[in-house]
Structure 1
Amino acid sequence: MTDIVRYRMCFSGRVQGVGFRYKASNVASKYCLTGYVKNEYDGTVTVEIQGTEQNIYMFLKSMGSDRYIDIYEVEKEHISVETDEHGFIVQY
């Protein structure tokens, strides 16, 4: 079995009001990733994402290739895996 990892990421740039959360949810589902995405009051977006390193890499690559989303910076922190998590949700 492939190792599962989890990251908390903070995305800065043009990431709110451009469909970021909707796209993140769709891309995460496509790559069988779990976690959540949430807008923050400071204009950033937080994502906690869990899956294989390869699928998380594909998630990031896909998010960076959108013509409306313009990511300036991603802060990435390795955190503990949530063993009972299922699915990827958009938090409001």
Structure 2
Amino acid sequence: MGTVSPSSAMVSRDPARLNQYGPFPREGSDGEPMVGGLDEAGRGSWIGPMVLGAFRLPREGLGRLVELGIRDSKLLTPGRRTLLASELARTGEIR
């Protein structure tokens, strides 16, 4: 099973820190192809306090994201983000 490598553009070069939550496998436990994405919240472009979130789901589930209207989180109200987070938790894997 392959894994997604950390980006070379990341500031930290410490492998233990880059993978502190473990690698994100490209396949599910059943070998099904998975796709993933991430979003950040914080000040500036990677400057200052920051929170990152990652999500993955089976490739065939991408249509569900379109149905839900998943887009840039900054364009969503806090209430809509909360509702979408609940739906995403049922649809895929959040880290």
- What range is the shorter-chain TM-score in? 0.3 to 0.5
Higher strand share: 1
Larger Cα-atom Rg: 2
Higher helix share: 2
TM-score by structure 1 length? 0.37
Higher RCO (C-alpha under 8 Å, 6+ residues apart): 1
